[in-house]
């Protein structure tokens, strides 16, 4: 996603009266601030996540390229906790 797409998505959420939520491996700090300033949430994760059906590909990418990727059956509890805390504050 490029910056123009981020701006469009944040504006679209604002127009619809909903909060923007982004889940990503990494985002520039200025983008995260823009999302938060709009009332949204950026869930930054340690690993790039692949679908479970692509678990073998994730293993190869991790072992051969040394990139932080995974293909978990579920998100780690700490990851979910960060989102749930934000969600409960914004009910």
Over the chain (91 residues), what is each successive 10-residue block's mean pLDDT? Answer: 97 98 97 98 96 97 97 92 96 87
Q: Are residues 52 and 87 in the same domain?
A: yes
Q: Are residues 29 and 59 in the same domain?
A: no
User: What whole-number distance in Å separates Cα of residue 54 and Cα of residue 47?
Assistant: 15
Q: Are residues 59 and 28 in the same domain?
A: no
Q: Are residues 59 and 25 in the same domain?
A: no
Cβ-based neighbours of 25, under 8 Å, separated by 6 or more: 44, 45, 47, 48, 68
Domain that holds residue 57: 47-91
Q: Are residues 37 and 52 in the same domain?
A: no
Q: Are residues 51 and 13 in the same domain?
A: no
Q: Are residues 38 and 55 in the same domain?
A: no
pLDDT score at 16:
98
Q: Are residues 51 and 83 in the same domain?
A: yes
User: Is-contact 86 40, C-beta < 8 A?
Assistant: no
Question: Which pTM value belongs to this model?
Answer: 0.84
Q: Are residues 34 and 55 in the same domain?
A: no
Domain count of the fold of the chain: 2
CA 18 vs. chain centroid, Å, equals: 17
pLDDT score at 91:
87
């Amino acid at each position: 996603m490029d910056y123009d797409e981020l701006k469009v998505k944040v504006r679209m959420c604002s127009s619809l009266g909903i909060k923007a939520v982004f889940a990503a491996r990494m985002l520039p700090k200025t983008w995260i601030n823009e999302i938060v300033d709009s009332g949204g949430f950026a869930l930054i994760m340690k690993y790039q996540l692949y679908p479970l059906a692509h678990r073998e590909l994730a293993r190869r990418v991790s072992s051969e390229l040394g990139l932080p990727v995974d293909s978990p059956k579920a998100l780690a509890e700490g990851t979910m906790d960060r989102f749930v805390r934000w969600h409960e504050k914004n009910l």
